[in-house]
Amino acid sequence: MFESSLILIVLVVLLAWTFDFINGFHDTANAIATSVSTKALPPRIAVLLAAFMNFFGAMVFTGVAKTIGGSIADPLNLEHGMYIVTAALISGITWNLITWYYGIPSSSSHALIGSLAGAVIAAVGFNAVNYKGFFTIVEALLLSPIIAFLMGFMVMSLIRFVFKNTHPGKLNRRFRLLQIFTAAFQAFSHGTNDAQKSMGIITFALVAGGIQSNIEVPLWVKVSCALAMALGTSIGGWKIIKTVGSKIIKLEPSSGFAADFSSALIIIIATFLKLPVSTTHVISSSIMGVGSAKRFSAVKWGTAEKMVMAWIITLPITIIFAAVIYWIMAHFLKLT
């Protein structure tokens, strides 16, 4: 019995690391797309900077991990908790790979939250979900892009007002330099929020498997998840960089700075509030807000509509994915 539990723990940890690794190259674009698009940073340097800052950010905070680990369901009171987490991670990884392959900047956060809820429902029933915690998380996921859009709009409007008499060439040189710092801030904020989601899942599994009795994140979990995301980030997600960096609006250094600063600020505030948000949603929405401040027609709304559709369908699809995966596991493993 102990050996099978240990094998399951190892499997969950490996899957969580895989999710973090994929999240790294899936969401790398979010942190560096604007700086690459405006040529503020060469792609290779941008990716390495993002990898380092992602790792650093992931080591600093644990509040979001605790939210993921205990707000959707109580791991202490879940039968077959290890299998639930396994199904959730397989579902989240599958959806991330599908959206990465097609270059769709969908949300890893939505995928993970939806998958965990779907697996819990399939295993124990609807009553096992902590709906207050679940809807608090979903509320943050839904409100953060709206706030990011408004923030991007306001920051870009302020820049346009303050520098209205500045020569465009001089303005671009200034903001191209500033973008190096906002790209680093962006990657740091991404690490503070996104890497913690896998930390929370592993901690959830450790509690469900009886390895520990609380949702405090062990040091080895923090370090390993931070490394997995940093390694994934170092590979980069060039398909999504192209979508985020050029297919929403035509970015200039000033607009890239505004988008990076706005989205990083929203993400870091969410981290302080211990709320998981979608870095993809926040960054893409801030870019749309920045474009709207310049000219509403500057935003390529066709691309935006496809992205919004992906955002909308991710939660229900991953809930179904995870439920089906759990039912298949339950059938073959004779879980009761």
pLDDT tens-place values along the chain, 336 residues long:
556 677 888 888 999 899 888 877 766 666 677 777 777 888 778 778 888 888 888 888 878 888 877 778 877 777 778 889 899 999 999 998 888 777 676 777 788 889 999 999 999 999 888 888 888 888 888 899 899 999 999 999 999 999 988 887 788 888 988 988 988 998 899 888 887 888 888 888 888 878 888 888 889 998 998 888 888 877 765 555 555 544 555 678 888 899 889 999 999 999 999 888 888 788 888 888 988 887 777 677 776 677 777 778 888 999 999 999 999 999 888 886
Buried b (16+ CB within 10 A) or exposed e, 192-218: bbbbbbbbbbbbbbbbbbeeeeebebe
Instruction: Note the pLDDT of residue 156.
Output: 94
CA–CA distance, 65 with 285 (Å, rounded to integer): 24
**Which of 283, 286, 288, 312 is CA-nearest to residue 302?**
288
Residue-range domain boundaries for the chain: 2-333
Alpha-carbon radius of gyration of the chain: 20
Instruction: Note the pLDDT of residue 148.
Output: 93
Instruction: Note the pLDDT of residue 249.
Output: 53
Instruction: Note the pLDDT of residue 311.
Output: 74
Q: What is the value of pTM for the model shown?
A: 0.84
Instruction: Note the pLDDT of residue 247.
Output: 52
The helix-helix angle for 219-235 and 168-208 (nearest 10°) equals 140
